[in-house]
Amino acid sequence: MSAPRLPGMRTLVTGGAGFIGSHLVDALLQRGDTVHVIDDLSSGRRSRLPQDPTVWEIDITDAASVTAMIAEAQPQVIYHLAAQIDVRASVADPARDAAVNVGGTINLLQAARPVEAKIVFASTGGALYGMEAPIPSDEQVQPAPEAPYGTAKYCAEQYLGLFNRLYGTRHTALRLGNVYGPRQDPGGEAGVVAIFAGCAHRGQQPTIFGDGAQTRDYVYVGDVVNAFLAAGDTRPGGVWNIGTGQETSVLELVKHISQAADRNLEPVFAPARPGELQRSALEAAAAQRDLGWIPATPIEEGIARVYAWVHNGQPDRAAL
């Protein structure tokens, strides 16, 4: 059950200048919250944010700065999205990945205790359940990550649960599917929807690694923001999948983007990446039951919005 939300809550979004975080900041401001943002701006951009939130340019691995900032801002809810998100970077430098994704989370947990703030943590579903997981995977499936990134996210989840047991806190983890939407960098290494939409707009051929049959659970960023809002307003802590439960292959993505762009995309095929999951989808019935959350955006509609955003010049302040 959801708790009544006090008007004008004090909230903090780590990674708030990022793709998902900036949309979440907008939603929190729209409902009347006081919002602070932590972002080291290594990949986030201030231009994604309105003027309202106070932005603290802090690395979450800097425990002293994180503690001082939280003591000053006194947030009631901390939405923790700051992370090292590149799977390949985690393989190349697992110590750095763990320092950010585990150590940074511990820093926030420690700093949140004196102010009694609840943490809502952006975990991963796609990188957590592993090769042998049933499809769609629910929260009862034993995690078996294939890369340091998924391992670190699962470890951070365990620290949230530990603090809940030790201190009676109400921290929550959301295991996200493959999030896509406006503001996702179409020139980056992650976010295949934005990358392919950028290729379509420029008249380039997208590259598919493997045969294109591999599937993911693509969930629209506006729906993900609603999940964070619901989780922040719910009393008990817990772990919930946030996905559609539907598999979409890379080849199907190409078809959807071709329709949105009104042009036929002819992909180039490259060797499959080692260790890549062949199938992934998240069962989110528990989130519907406990948080009242459902994914409302059909993938065709979401992809059309992404392509329109790319076509319009990729504005940093694009709305959902």
In Å, the largest CA–CA distance within the chain is 56
Tokens of 174: 């959301």
Exactly one of 149, 180, 218, 307 is catalytic; which is it?
A: 149
State the pLDDT at residue 70: 98
pLDDT for res 88 = 85
47 secondary structure, DSSP code: G
* Ranges assigned E (strand) in 171-310: 172-176, 178-180, 207-209, 215-216, 218-220, 238-242, 248-249, 268-270
b/e for 20-59, b at 16 or more Cβ within 10 A?
bbbbbbbbbbeeebbbbbbbbeebbeeebbeeebebbebb
Q: Is residue 109 classed exposed, middle or buried when 0-12, 13-18 and 19+ CB atoms within 10 A define those classes?
A: buried
Of 294, 311, 121, give the one whose Cα is nearest residue 220.
294
**Strands, E assignment, 27-171:** 34-38, 54-56, 77-80, 118-124
CA angle 154, 60, 5 (to 5 degrees): 75
pLDDT of residue 2: 42
Question: Containing H/E element for 290?
Answer: helix 285-291
pLDDT value at residue 104: 98
Mean pLDDT by runs of 10 across the 320 residues of the chain is 62 97 97 97 95 94 98 98 91 95 98 98 94 95 94 98 97 97 77 94 94 96 98 90 97 97 94 84 97 97 97 94
pLDDT score of 1 = 36
In the residue annotation, 180 being an active-site residue is answered as no
Contact 282, 243 (CB under 8 A): yes
User: CATH code for 10-181+218-244+283-296?
Assistant: 3.40.50.720
Question: Is 0.85 topped by the overall pTM?
Answer: yes
- CB-CB contact of 56 with 38 (8 Å): yes
pLDDT for res 189: 53
Q: What stretch of H or E contains 11?
A: strand 10-14
66 and 108 Cβ atoms separated by less than 8 Å = yes
Cα 227-232-233 angle, rounded to 5 deg:
100
